């Protein structure tokens, strides 16, 4: 297994914003032949809205629109994306809890701590036992998804982000976005749990 490079912290300056000159495509985030026009810096995006101003999107939203294959209006809370983004590409390390390496349950705990100040139990099994069950057809963005990747007990966890996609610390590729419909994950899916403070923005698996 080749470890992925550790993501460097992004500059603290105001992110570049872009205006779409054209329309959104129903199946893709942006029509490929449209142009992007750079705009002057704008105020930061409120956590409660996907857009700061009509027609403006952040680089972070553009990135996750591609990763999640979602239109911009369907993306999760930008504050949740901002909590996830620094971990993208960080390699997996069992028992790890830093940018030098992190495991799946430490990743979910770190993201939800940054996002909403929630202190999750440290292990995957404890997280599974701690929170209320969510039926498969009621899964929402922010719910925890659990899998059996080894043995007969829960051994892996990720965070659902909509469009059947979830983010997790993969033992083979580090922190990444995967699809729950991939045969490997669909055959090992155990169930979902909801951390109560998280609000729903989409009802889940297609």
Residue with tokens 């349950």: 105
- Note whether 157 and 147 are within 8 A (CB): yes
pLDDT > 90 in the chain, percent: 66
- Name the CATH architecture for the domain at 84-193: Alpha-Beta Complex (3.90)
Q: pLDDT at position 56, please? A: 57
d(CA 117, CA 137): 27
Mean pLDDT of 38-59: 46
Residue 80 has pLDDT above 90, yes or no: yes
Mean pLDDT of the chain: 78
Residue 48 has pLDDT above 70, yes or no: no
Nearest to 45 by CA among 14, 74, 19, 87: 14
Domain ranges across the chain: 84-193
Please give the distance of CA 204 from its chain centroid, rounded to a whole number. 14
pTM (predicted TM-score): 0.71
Helices (H), ranges, the chain: 59-68, 78-84, 104-116, 124-130, 183-186
What residues act catalytically? 104, 156, 168
DSSP state letter for 149: S
**Main-chain dihedrals φ then ψ at residue 169, nearest 5 degrees:** -95, 100
pLDDT confidence band for 46 (50 / 70 / 90): very low
- Collapse the DSSP code of 180 into the 3-class scheme (helix H, G, I; strand E, B; otherwise coil) and give the result: coil
């Amino acid at each position: 297994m080749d470890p992925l490079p550790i993501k460097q912290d992004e500059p603290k300056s105001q992110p570049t914003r872009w205006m779409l000159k054209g329309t959104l495509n129903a199946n893709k985030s942006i029509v490929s032949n449209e142009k992007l026009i750079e705009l002057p810096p704008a105020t930061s995006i409120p956590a409660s809205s996907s857009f700061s101003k009509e027609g403006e999107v952040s680089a972070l939203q553009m990135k996750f629109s591609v990763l999640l294959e979602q239109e911009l209006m369907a993306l999760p809370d930008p504050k949740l994306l901002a909590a996830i983004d620094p971990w993208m590409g960080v390699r997996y390390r069992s028992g790890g809890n830093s940018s030098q390496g992190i495991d799946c349950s430490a990743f979910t705990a770190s993201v939800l701590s940054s996002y909403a100040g929630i202190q999750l139990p440290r292990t995957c099994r404890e997280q599974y036992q701690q929170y209320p069950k969510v039926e498969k057809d009621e899964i929402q963005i922010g719910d925890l998804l659990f899998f059996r990747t080894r043995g007969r007990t829960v051994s892996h966890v990720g965070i659902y982000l909509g469009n059947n996609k979830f983010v997790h610390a993969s033992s083979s590729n580090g922190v990444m976005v995967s699809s729950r419909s991939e045969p490997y994950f669909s055959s090992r899916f155990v169930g979902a749990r909801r951390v109560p403070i998280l609000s729903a923005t989409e009802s889940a698996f297609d």
